[in-house]
Amino acid sequence: DIQMTQSPSSVSASVGDRVTITCRASQDISTWLVWYQQKPGKAPKLLIYAASSLQSGVPSRFSGSGSGTDFTLTISSLQPEDFATYYCQQAKSLPPWTFGQGTKVEIK
């Protein structure tokens, strides 16, 4: 199975800060990488697919990049509603489609 490793596990930031989260795959997944946002008590929400494509309705302050094994989610200017946990997921070909362990973005 493909292992996904996110870093950091948590980050403290202020409104307006630029936040970067990284995700590393244990093998080449091309751009088969997805990012989700999850708030407490809610289901995950799709943010970015195909490593860099923004899901409809997601603010443009979110962006994704990378290919192969190394990927990045960037929030260009953190807003109060962005405090949440973010997960990456590899979506290459056949299952199992594995997730990273999550990165919690907390208020500084």
Partner 1 sequence: EVLLVESGGGLIQPGGSLRLSCVASGFSLSDIYMNWVRQTPGRGLEWVSVIYSGGGTYYADSVKGRFTISRDSSKNTVYLQMNNLRADDTAVYYCAGNLPFDPWGQGTVVTVSS
Q: Does 94 bind partner 1 (CB under 8 A)?
A: yes
User: In this complex, which beta carbon is closest to partner 1, that of residue 83 or of residue 97?
Assistant: 97
Stretch that binds partner 1, among 21-29, 42-50, 61-69, 75-83 (CB under 8 A): 42-50
Distance between CA 42 and CA 2 in Å, rounded?
A: 26
Q: Would you give the DSSP letter of residue 29?
A: -
Q: Does 44 bind partner 1 (CB under 8 A)?
A: yes
User: In this complex, which beta carbon is closest to partner 1, that of residue 69 or of residue 103?
Assistant: 103
Interface pick for partner 1 out of 61, 67, 68, 99 (rule CB under 8 A):
99
- Residue span 18-37 as binding mask against partner 1, x where in contact by CB under 8 A, dash where not: ----------------x-x-
From 96, 105, 88, select the one nearest 4 (Cα to Cα): 88
The set of long-range contacts for 58-67, using a CB threshold of 8 Å and a minimum separation of 24, is 62/35, 64/33, 64/35, 66/23, 66/31, 66/33, 67/30, 67/31
Structure tokens at 11: 């980050």
Interface contacts to partner 1, rule CB under 8 A: 34, 36, 42-46, 49, 55, 87, 89, 91, 94-102
